[in-house]
């Protein structure tokens, strides 16, 4: 059953399992329009994670900084639409976690090839920091790290598997978090990749 990761953070193991094949198909359709790319960050390095987006805005990064943009800078076109079934899944999970009025306007899609990782960070580029973030893990497993409100706070490691959903809101919304290097067995549905959806209210 659900596991509390914090006062307002919940892990729902396997919550998206019955929809996983459909979600992976939807990701392939979105990637055909907006391919995942390893974005440059202000320090000049490139992220190891490939990022794409769906919805009214997309998270982007370059040497000038991080921002949400209504257009894909690679194509100059709007990001692909957020599928209705994705929104329904995110709202169902948010309701289960105690957030009954959740209206995310976008979904950030992370693609981890084996060897990719995401360093410890906070998500604070969104306009509405009251709205929770819903995350859906697909494909290869990974070890998620979540800490506290300061970078130096101790970090707990949580394994995330195909189909798991996590909701982060309220007092847990600004916790530092990251993903250790993805390694191990390829997944039958995704190959040597992990995909992660994070729903946000960005605008």
**Residues found near ligand MD3 in the complex (CB under 6 A):** 108, 110, 118, 123, 133, 135, 146, 166, 168, 172-173, 175, 177, 179, 196, 198
The CB-of-75 to Fe ion minimum distance in angstroms stands at 24
Q: How far is the CB of 100 from ligand MD3 (least distance, A)?
A: 20
For residue 122, the minimal CB distance to ligand MD3 (Å) is 7
Closest residue to Fe ion, Cβ-based?
123
**145 alpha-carbon distance from chain centroid:** 14
Q: Which is nearer to ligand MD3, 80 or 133 (CB)?
A: 133
Q: Which among 165, 134, 190, 159 has a CA at the least distance from the CA of 16? A: 165
For residue 107, the cross-strand partners are 54, 199
146 strand-pairing partners: 156, 177
Paired with 112 in beta bridges are: 194
Q: Choose the one of ligand MD3, Fe ion, none that binds residue 135, judging by a C-beta under 5 to 8 angstroms depending on kind.
A: ligand MD3
Question: If binding is defined by CB under 5 A, does position 172 make contact with Fe ion?
Answer: no
Size (the chain), residues? 203
Spatial distance between the Cα atoms of 191 and 10, rounded to a whole number of angstroms: 27
Q: Name which of 14 and 76 has its Cβ closer to ligand MD3.
A: 14
Task: Dig out the tokens for 11 from the structure.
Answer: 């892990």
Residue 123 touches Fe ion, criterion: CB under 5 A: yes
């Amino acid at each position: 059953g659900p596991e509390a990761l914090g006062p307002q953070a919940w892990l729902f193991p396997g919550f998206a399992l019955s929809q996983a094949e459909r979600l992976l198909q939807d990701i392939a359709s979105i990637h055909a329009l907006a391919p995942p790319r390893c974005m440059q960050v202000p320090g000049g390095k490139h992220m190891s994670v490939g990022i794409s987006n769906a919805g009214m805005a997309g998270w982007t990064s370059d040497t000038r900084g991080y921002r949400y943009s209504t257009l894909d800078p690679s194509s100059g076109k709007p990001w692909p639409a957020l599928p209705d079934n994705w929104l329904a899944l995110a709202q169902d999970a948010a309701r289960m976690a105690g957030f009954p009025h959740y209206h995310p306007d976008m979904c950030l899609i992370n693609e981890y090839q084996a060897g990719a990782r995401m360093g410890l960070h906070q998500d604070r580029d969104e306009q509405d920091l009251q709205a929770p973030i819903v995350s859906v893990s697909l494909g290869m497993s990974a070890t998620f790290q979540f800490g506290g409100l300061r970078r130096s706070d101790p970090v707990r490691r949580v394994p995330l598997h195909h189909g798991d959903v996590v909701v982060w809101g309220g007092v847990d919304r600004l916790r530092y978090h990251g993903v250790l290097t993805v390694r191990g067995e390829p997944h039958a549905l995704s190959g040597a990749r992990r995909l992660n959806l994070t729903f946000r209210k960005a605008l």
